Structure 1
Amino acid sequence: MNNKKTSLLSLVIGAPIGCLGGLIGLGGAEFRLPFLLKTFSKTAKKAVALNMLISLITVASAIYFRMNNFDVSPIYPQILLMISLIVGSTTGAYFGIELSTKISDALFKKVLLILLLIMGLLLISESFITFGSMGILFSSLYMMLVVAILCGVLIGIISSLLGVAGGEVIIPILILIFGIDVKLAGTMSLIISLPTMLVGITRHAKNKMYTKKSEIKYLVIPMGVSSIIGASIGAFLVIYAPSELLKIILGALLIFTSIKLFTEKEE
C-alpha cells in the first residue's frame, strides 16, 4: 500500500471510530486494532505499538478539552488514589511489553484477539449495568492504596498488550471498587492512562517499533487527527444517540471481528 493511500485510509477509518468512541465515552482503540491488523497488514506487535501512539494523541486531546470545559476540582481529593493506580499501571505496562517481546507474533496475536473478545463482552455487559457509586469499605488508607496499585498493574498489562488507554477497565474499577462518581471516573481514567501509555510507548521505541517514519507520518498522525475530530463530533452527538444500544452493537461487532481474525488462516 502506497503512502498516499495509507494516509487517506487512515483519515477515513480514524474519524468514524473516533466518533463512535466519543459517543460511548471510549478512545476507540479497540476498534482501530482490527483495522491495523487487517486493512494495513501490520503484525500483532506492530499494530499494538502504533495503536498506542494513536491512543496517546486521542487521550491527550481529550484531557485538554475536559480540563477546559469541566470543573476538575473534585479530582484533588483523589490524588493519592490516582498516584497509586498510576504506579501500578506503569509497572504493569513495563512488564506487559517485556512479556510480549518474549513470545512469538502468532501467539501474541491469539492473546490479543482473546483480549478483544473480552473487551467486546465487557462493552455489552456495561450496557446492561447501571453503575452506581458503590465502592468497598477499606479498613485503612494503606489497604486502599495497596489494592489500587494491584488494580493498576492489571490496567497496565491490558493497556500494553492492546495498545489502548484502558478506560473500559479503569472506569468500572474506579466506580465499583473505589466508589468514584461515574462522571469523575471518566476524567480520572484519562489522566491515569496517560503516563501508562507513555511508559508503553517508551518501551516500544526501545524495541524499535517506531523506526519506520512513513508509518508515523502517513498512518499514526492522520488517524490520530481524524480520531480527535471524530471524537469531538461524537461528544456533540451523544445527547441524540442511544449510547447503551451502541455499546451492544459495537461490542457484538468487536466479538465478531475478533473471532473472524482469530479463525483466519495466516497467509
Structure 2
Amino acid sequence: MHTPVAPSASTSRNPLAALGGGAVIGALGGLIGLGGAEFRLPLLIGAFRFAALQAVIVNKAMSLVVVTAALPFRARAVPLGAVLAHWSIVANLLAGSLVGAWLGAGWATRVHATTLYRIIAVLLVFIATVLLLGHDAAAPAPLPNGPVQSILGVAAGFAIGVVAALLGVAGGELLIPTLVLLFGLDIKLAGSLALVISLPTMVVGFTRYSRDRSFVVLAENRTLVLVMAIGSIIGAGIGGQLLGIMPSAVLLPLLAGILLLSAAKIWRHGQS
C-alpha cells in the first residue's frame, strides 16, 4: 500500500528554520562522525510536518548531499590510498547493503503510514542503543579471513542497507561499529570506509524511492531541501571542529536521549 501524501504544510516550512535546523543537526552529527540524518528525520516529521514516507525521501536526498561532501573533507585525515587498500571489505559489505537498500525502500513504499511511523520509532531506539554501546568500541582482533567473515559481512551489509533505506540515513552509525568489530579496523579508517559504502547504498535506495509517487515531495519542497542540505553541511563542518571540546562520555548519552525522545514522539504521532 502506498503511504498517502500529506497535505501541504508550507507555513511550517520556513527556509530560515530549515537552514538553522539543518545546521544544528549537522553539528550533532559532525560531533560523532555522522551525517546527522538520524536527528534530521524527527525534525522533518515533527516540526516540518512531513508524512513518514515523505520525510524518509527528503532525508535520503540530504543524506546523499552530506555524505558526498564529507568524502573529500576526510581525505586529509584518511588518505584515499588507505581506503582503496581495503576494497575487498567495501565489496563484501556492499554485496549485502545494495540488496538490502533496494528491498528496504520497496517495503517502505508499500506499508501503511501508521506502520512506517512505528518502524521508524523502533529503529531510532535501535540506533540510540548502537550509539551508546558500539560507537567507541576498541578494535578487536578481526575474524580470520574466510567464508565465515565474508558471510557475516554480507549479512551485516544487508541489515544495514534495509535500515538505511527505511530511515533515509547513510548508515554510518551501524557501518562503523561493524567495520571495527567484524574487521578489526581503526575507527577513523572505518569512518571513511563507511562513507564509501554508504554512497552507493543510498543511491540504490534513492532510485527505488523515485518510482513511488511520494517522490514528488522533493520537487514541491526544492527550496527547503536545498537550504537544509546546505545547513547540514555547514553544521557537520562545525561539529567536526568542536569534536575535541565535548567528551564522548557526555555527548553520546545526550544524543541517545534525543533519539529516544524523538522515537517516543514519532510513535505517538503514528497513533494520532
Q: CA deviation at 1:149?
A: 1.4
After superposition, residues 114-263 of structure 1 pair within 5 angstroms as: 114-126=122-134, 130-138=136-144, 140-263=145-268
Q: Which residue of 2 aligns with 1:92?
A: 100
Q: Which residue of 1 aligns with 2:81?
A: 73
Q: Which residue of 1 aligns with 2:53?
A: 45
Q: CA deviation at 1:83?
A: 1.0
Counterpart residue identity of residue 251, structure 1: A
Q: Aligned partners of 1:212 and 1:234: how far apart in 2?
A: 29
Q: Could you tell me the TM-score, scaled by structure 1's length?
A: 0.92
Is residue 6 from structure 1 mapped to residue 14 from structure 2 by the alignment? yes
Q: CA deviation at 1:98?
A: 1.3
Q: Aligned partners of 1:265 and 1:158: how far apart in 2?
A: 19
Report the 3-state secondary structure (helix = DSSP H, G, I; strand = E; otherwise coil) of the residue aligned with 1:221. helix
Q: Aligned partners of 2:198 and 2:53: how far apart in 1?
A: 20
Counterpart residue identity of residue 192, structure 2: T
Q: Aligned partners of 2:183 and 2:247: how far apart in 1?
A: 28
Q: CA deviation at 1:38?
A: 1.2
Paired residues, number: 264
Counterpart residue identity of residue 191, structure 1: V
Report the 3-state secondary structure (helix = DSSP H, G, I; strand = E; otherwise coil) of the residue aligned with 2:110. coil
Is residue 108 from structure 1 mapped to residue 124 from structure 2 by the alignment? no
Deviation per CA, 1:46-85: give whole Å up to 9, x if none: 1111101011111100002112553232223310110121
Q: Aligned partners of 2:219 and 2:80: how far apart in 1?
A: 38
What is the Cα-based RMSD across aligned positions, in Å?
1.9
Q: Aligned partners of 2:169 and 2:79: how far apart in 1?
A: 26
State whether residues 4 and 218 of structure 1, in contact with CA within 8 Å, keep that contact through their aligned partners in structure 2. Answer: no
Q: CA deviation at 1:135?
A: 4.2
Report the 3-state secondary structure (helix = DSSP H, G, I; strand = E; otherwise coil) of the residue aligned with 1:97. helix
Between 1:142-151 and 1:239-248, the stretch displaced more is 142-151
Q: CA deviation at 1:97?
A: 1.2
User: Runs ≥4 in structure 1, deviation > 3 angstroms?
Assistant: 1-5, 140-143, 212-216, 264-267
Q: 1:213 to 1:113 in 2, by over 3 A?
A: closer
Deviation per CA, 1:175-214: give whole Å up to 9, x if none: 1111111110000001100000001111111113332455
Q: 1:56 to 1:244 in 2, by over 3 A?
A: farther
Deviation per CA, 1:86-121: give whole Å up to 9, x if none: 121011000111122221111111111111111122
State whether residues 210 and 216 of structure 1, in contact with CA within 8 Å, keep that contact through their aligned partners in structure 2. Answer: no
State whether residues 104 and 161 of structure 2, in contact with CA within 8 Å, keep that contact through their aligned partners in structure 1. Answer: yes
Q: Aligned partners of 1:161 and 1:213: how far apart in 2?
A: 17
Deviation per CA, 1:204-233: give whole Å up to 9, x if none: 111133324554422211111110001111
Q: Aligned partners of 1:13 and 1:47: how far apart in 2?
A: 14
State whether residues 135 and 175 of structure 1, in contact with CA within 8 Å, keep that contact through their aligned partners in structure 2. Answer: no
Q: Aligned partners of 1:192 and 1:26: how far apart in 2?
A: 13
Between 1:189-198 and 1:216-225, the stretch displaced more is 216-225
Match for 1:54 among 62, 78, 87? 62
Q: Aligned partners of 1:226 and 1:52: how far apart in 2?
A: 15
Q: 1:200 to 1:177 in 2, by over 3 A?
A: same
State whether residues 6 and 218 of structure 1, in contact with CA within 8 Å, keep that contact through their aligned partners in structure 2. Answer: no
State whether residues 139 and 181 of structure 2, in contact with CA within 8 Å, keep that contact through their aligned partners in structure 1. Answer: yes
Q: 1:265 to 1:196 in 2, by over 3 A?
A: closer
What is the percentage of aligned positions where both structures have the same residue?
36
Q: Aligned partners of 2:12 and 2:167: how far apart in 1?
A: 27
